[in-house]
């Protein structure tokens, strides 16, 4: 009588455990892909630090962290044109170009790119460079990254803000 119960409980534990997944980088599905970016009145490049691991207290081994890059159009009327979202490793080498073509993020829309805890390719000094622009003057794109992870019962989460590292001069847009 005990064997069926042990077998049933073992099956339940196996079914509830998380499957081991390969490293992945997941991007947004709500972007409108454009044939070309077209003329942009404002162009900026934003650097966003991503931490894939973090040392806690006196631990000899770091804990792995998942990261979400968040791009938020705070304008109620002006779309943002994304021309590149590139993921770099700690050595400054391009790991993945996330956009195949320019894309538009509509008013008040958000897009996220997720880097799983299992994805260690970027290293502890990974980062994103987000190239974006506006066809007409408007508010800046809000660019942040949220990292989170756990070590036993201890959880850690924190936010990093993107920093503009390159800004193109305003160009008049022909109408």
Per residue in 7-60, pLDDT tens? 444 444 444 444 434 334 466 677 888 888 889 999 999 999 998 888 777 767
pTM of the model: 0.79
Per residue in 93-112, pLDDT tens? 999 998 889 999 999 999 99
What domains can be seen in the chain, in order of their start residue? 22-168 (2.60.40)
Share of the chain above pLDDT 90, in %: 50
Per residue in 27-40, pLDDT tens? 667 788 888 888 99
- DSSP-H helix ranges across the chain: 2-16
Written in H, E and C, the secondary structure of 84-129 is: EEEEECCCCCEEEECCCCCEEECCCCEEEEEECCCCCCCCCCCEEE
Per residue in 111-150, pLDDT tens? 999 998 888 888 889 999 999 999 999 999 999 999 999 8
* CB-count exposure of residue 66 (10 Å: 0-12, 13-18, 19+): middle
Looking at residue 124, what is its pLDDT? Answer: 85
User: Which one is predicted more confidently, 61 or 137?
Assistant: 137
Average pLDDT of the chain, as a whole number? 82
Question: CA-to-CA distance for 30 and 15, rounded, in angstroms?
Answer: 32
């Amino acid at each position: 009588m005990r064997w069926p119960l042990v077998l049933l409980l073992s099956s339940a534990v196996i079914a509830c455990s998380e499957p081991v997944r390969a490293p992945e980088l997941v991007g947004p599905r709500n972007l409108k892909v454009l044939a070309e970016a077209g003329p942009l009145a404002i162009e900026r490049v934003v650097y966003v630090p991503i931490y894939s691991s973090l040392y806690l207290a006196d631990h000899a081994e770091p804990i792995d962290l998942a990261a979400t890059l968040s791009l938020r159009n705070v304008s109620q009327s002006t779309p943002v044109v994304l021309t590149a979202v590139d993921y770099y490793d700690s050595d400054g080498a391009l790991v993945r170009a996330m956009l195949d073509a320019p894309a538009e993020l509509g008013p008040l829309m958000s897009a996220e790119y997720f880097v799983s805890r299992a994805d260690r390719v970027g290293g502890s000094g990974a980062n994103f460079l987000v190239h974006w622009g506006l066809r007409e003057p408007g508010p800046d794109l809000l660019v942040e990254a949220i990292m989170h992870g756990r070590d036993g019962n201890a959880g850690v989460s924190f936010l990093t803000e993107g920093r503009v590292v390159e800004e193109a001069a305003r160009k008049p847009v022909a109408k």
